[in-house]
C-alpha cells in the first residue's frame, strides 16, 4: 500500500495507478485535494483492479489547531497528521482519528518508549515521507534513524511516496534494498508498505467485489 499520492491531473493519476498496480500495490491513498470526481476515481480504480482510499494531510502547529482541522476536514478516510511541534505530535499520536503521524527530521529524536505507548492508545502509525529522499538523498540518515527507533520500540510505521507523477513512485524493492544497505532487515522495512487494517476502502475493484 502506498498511503499517499497526489497527482495533478486525471491522466497523471491513471498512469500513476497503472504503474503502482504493475509494481504490486493493491491499495493507494489518494489526496482529496486532487480535484477529481469520486465517480471518475471509482471507475479508474475498478478498471485497474486497485483499491483507492481518500487521504488528507493535516498540518498543525498546536493541538487546538489539529482539533479544529479535524472538525473541518471531513470526507477523508485516511488522515495523515503533520505536526509542527512536539505538543501537536503527542496529541496526534494519542488521537485515534489520525491514522498516520508523519515524522519530520526534527521529530526523529522524539520517537521513544512514550511515543510507542501513545500510538498503542491511538492505534495509529508513524509515517515517513519517502519524497524527502528524492528531494535530498542526504536524508537517508534521517530514514536510518527512523528505522532504528521504530524497530527498537516495535512501533508500527508506514512509508509513502507523496508522488505527484510516475517518476516519484517507490517500488517495494527500492525500500527493501535501501533498508538492507543501511544494515536493517529488508523484510521488516517492507512492513511499512503493508495495508492499514482499519481503513474501509471507498473505491474497490477487481475480484473482491
Under the rule (CB under 8 A), what is the footprint of another protein? 19, 22-24, 133-134, 137, 140, 165-174, 177-178, 180-182
CB-nearer residue toward another protein: 58 or 178: 178
To the nearest whole angstrom, how small is the minimum distance from the Cβ of residue 19 to another protein?
7
State the nearest-atom distance from the C-beta of 177 to another protein, in Å.
4
67 versus 174: smaller Cβ distance to another protein: 174
In the complex, least distance from residue 72 CB atom to another protein, rounded to whole angstroms: 34
Q: Is 183 left (phi over 0), alpha (psi -120 to 50) or beta?
A: left
CB closer to another protein out of 154 and 167: 167
Q: In this complex, which beta carbon is closest to another protein, that of residue 19 or of residue 69?
A: 19
Closest contact distance (angstroms) between CB of 59 and another protein is: 24
Least distance between another protein and beta carbon 101 (Å): 24
Of residues 84 and 172, the one with the C-beta less far from another protein = 172
> How far apart are CB 31 and another protein at their closest, in Å?
20
DSSP per residue, the chain: -EEEE--SSHHHHHHHHHHHHHHT--EEEEEGGG---HHHHHHHHHHHT-EEEEEEEEEESSHHHHHHHHHH--S-SEEEEEESSHHHHHHHHH-TT-SEEEPPGGGGGG-SHHHHHHHHHHT-EEEEETHHHHH-GGGHHHHHHHHHHHHHTT--EEEE--BSSGGG---HHHHHHHHHHHTS-HHHHHGGGSPPTTPPPSB--STT-
In SS3 terms, 100-130 reads as EEECCHHHHHHCCHHHHHHHHHHCCEEEEEC
Closer by beta carbon to another protein, 101 or else 159: 159
Amino acid at each position: 500500500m502506498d498511503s499517499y499520492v497526489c497527482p495533478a491531473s486525471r491522466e497523471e493519476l491513471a498512469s500513476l495507478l497503472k504503474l503502482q498496480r504493475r509494481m504490486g500495490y493493491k491499495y493507494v491513498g489518494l489526496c482529496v485535494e486532487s480535484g477529481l470526481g469520486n465517480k471518475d476515481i471509482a471507475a479508474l480504480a475498478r478498471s485497474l483492479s486497485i483499491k483507492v482510499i481518500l487521504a488528507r494531510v493535516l498540518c498543525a502547529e498546536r493541538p487546538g489547531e489539529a482539533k479544529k482541522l479535524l472538525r473541518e476536514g471531513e470526507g477523508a478516510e485516511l488522515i495523515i497528521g503533520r505536526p509542527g511541534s512536539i505538543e501537536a505530535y503527542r496529541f496526534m499520536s494519542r488521537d485515534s482519528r489520525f491514522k498516520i503521524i508523519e515524522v519530520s527530521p526534527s521529530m526523529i529524536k522524539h520517537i521513544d518508549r512514550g511515543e510507542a505507548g501513545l500510538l498503542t492508545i491511538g492505534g495509529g502509525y508513524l509515517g515517513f515521507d519517502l519524497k524527502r529522499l528524492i528531494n535530498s538523498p542526504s536524508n537517508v540518515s534521517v530514514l536510518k534513524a527512523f528505522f532504528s527507533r521504530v524497530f527498537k520500540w516495535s512501533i508500527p510505521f508506514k512509508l509513502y511516496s507523496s508522488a505527484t507523477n510516475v517518476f516519484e513512485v517507490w517500488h517495494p524493492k527500492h525500500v527493501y534494498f535501501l533498508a538492507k544497505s543501511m544494515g536493517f532487515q529488508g523484510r521488516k522495512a517492507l512492513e511499512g508498505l503493508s495495508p492499514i487494517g482499519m481503513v474501509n476502502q471507498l473505491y474497490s475493484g477487481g475480484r473482491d467485489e
